[in-house]
Amino acid sequence: MNQLPEIFNNTPLLLLVLVWSLVWKGLALWRAAKRGNKVWYIIILILNSLGLMEIIYLLATNSKVKKTGLMNNF
């Protein structure tokens, strides 16, 4: 029940999650700004999804993935 403080005390895990999230967020924000997607930029900037939403955005806007049809469901 009291596992939350244990998670916060695990510094290597927190650093790993922080770096993971920042890398994906940075890549997605860069692409959204470059493409002029203001709405996506704001959504990605505000929401923290541990990189999941950012990865989906990057895949959805990747021209190679679009050509293969892997992201047709999104």
pLDDT in tens, 20-74: 889 999 999 999 999 999 999 998 888 877 788 888 888 888 876 556 555 454 4
pLDDT score recorded for residue 9: 80
Helix axes 38-46, 52-60, angle to 10 degrees: 160
pLDDT score recorded for residue 68: 57
Q: Please, how many CA atoms are within 13 Å of residue 32, restricted to the half-sphere of its CB?
A: 21
Residue 58 CB contacts under 8 Å (≥ 6 apart), including other chains: 24, 27, 28, 31
The residue that leads in pLDDT, 3 or 38, is 38
